[in-house]
Amino acid sequence: MDQDKLIAPKRHRRVTAQDVAEAAGVSRSAVSRAFTEGAYLDEEKRERVRDAALKLGYRPNALAAGLQGGRSHLVAIFVGDMRNAYDTEVVTRLVGALNAIQKWPILIDGGGLSSVKEAMGEVLRYPLDALILRSGSMDPAIARECTKLHIPVISSGRVLNHPQIDNVCCRNAQGSQAAAQLLLDRGRQNFGYIAGPLGYSSSSARQDGMMRALAAAGLAPVAIEAGDFTVESGFAAAERLFERARLDALLCANDAMAIGALGAARARGIDVPADLSIVGFDDISMARWPGINLTTVCNPIDIYADKVVELLSARLADPEKPSDVAYIDTHLVLRGTH
């Protein structure tokens, strides 16, 4: 009956539960039970099965398990642009947090990809446990499509208003309002702002926060320029600002651009922080590097990742629960540039 197998042994067949069963002298069901918590199986037999499995190098095939049971334990992380330092750090923490709860993250980098939509379509062929969006400029249509497939979506960094999408978002306005207040208290009056690209809710919310603090002091920003969240664009935007106006305070939509601005200020011989205060947003790891030492608004990454995982677990436990928005508090980190 096993003729065919003997005649044409498959290239490199995976060790299967059947093989272990034969080696241990039990039924295949018993093998399955030996690896399932809380299943009825004689202890002695279970041990025998595990020994045989170890010897043969057997591992239950996750594809088959996922096909049969409910969960695949795969989670897709869609990240808008992995060349962005903050996004990268968030992804790093997310990967760690997911690994820790035995969920396996599949990464899709929108920044390095021409046909994002197509890639998403391919990945959605896997019955994902969840999809995590990490991106300020995600096409909401994709998110909607996922909810149609009944896979949980968690949006990070941007609140998507949809009954089935959970969100994690930091209090952007509050953060930059506090930053502006800090500089106001220090006596600064001529504010500049380096914004992110249009359409990023985080950037505009942060700008609003600053405006609110300035308005309360009867002020308005002297000049505003926009970058694309990169260091280089921050450098360029700062140069344009310095050309246009004489500032003593400069707030930036994120740390990377603040670091660029810091470089531009130094190149121009402006003394930071004596003549100019620069404050970033996010508190990426480079902000604390010697030689940068940036004063910034901390957007606590660990808490961020933990919250995402927490929301994910809750959603998996109860798929029908109402959607949730977790707001993360920021706090000022006073270093050397304010």
* Least distance from DNA to the Cβ atom of residue 16, Å: 4
Instruction: Evaluate whether 194 touches 257 at the Cβ level (below 8 Å).
Output: yes
Report how many residues bind DNA under the rule CB under 7 A.
30
Q: Among residues 9, 11, 12, 40, which is the contact residue for DNA, using CB under 7 A?
A: 40
Backbone angles phi, psi at 28, to 5 degrees: -65, -35
Residue 299, phi-psi category: left (phi > 0), alpha (psi -120 to 50), beta (remainder): beta
Among 278, 291, 284, CA closest to 230: 284
Among 2, 6, 9, 43, binds DNA (CB under 7 A): 43
Contact status: 106 vs DNA (CB under 7 A): no
Contacts of 29 (CB under 8 A, 6+ apart): none
In angstroms, the CA 297 to CA 54 distance is 51
Convert residues 125-164 into a mask of x (bound to its own copies by CB under 8 A) and - (unbound). Answer: xxx-----------------x--xxx--------------
The residue within the footprint of its own copies, chosen from 36, 39, 42, 113 (CB under 8 A), is 113
Q: Please, which residue, 19 or 324, has the CB nearer to DNA? A: 19
CB of 233 to its own copies, least distance (A): 12
Residue 66 buriedness (CB in 10 A; 0-12 / 13-18 / 19+): middle
State the distance between the two ends of the chain, measured CA to CA, in whole angstroms.
Answer: 80
State which of positions 8-27 bind DNA (CB under 7 A): 10, 13-14, 16-18, 26-27
CA–CA gap between residue 33 and residue 136 (Å, rounded)? 45
d(C-alpha 25, C-alpha 42), whole Å:
14
**Cα separation, 202 vs 252, whole angstroms:** 12
Site stretch for its own copies (CB under 8 A), options 86-94, 159-167, 182-190, 244-252: 86-94
Pick one of 22, 50, 56, 65: the residue that binds DNA (CB under 7 A): 65
CB 56 within 8 A of CB 19: yes
Task: Name the minimum Å distance from CB 288 to its own copies.
Answer: 9
Residues in contact with DNA by CB under 7 A are 10, 13-14, 16-18, 26-30, 32-33, 35-36, 39-43, 45, 58-61, 64-65, 67-69
Residues in contact with its own copies by CB under 8 A are 11-12, 14, 57, 59-67, 72, 74, 82-83, 88, 92-93, 95-97, 99-100, 102, 104-109, 111-113, 119, 121-127, 145, 148-150, 231, 235, 259-260, 262-264, 266-267, 285-286, 289-292, 319
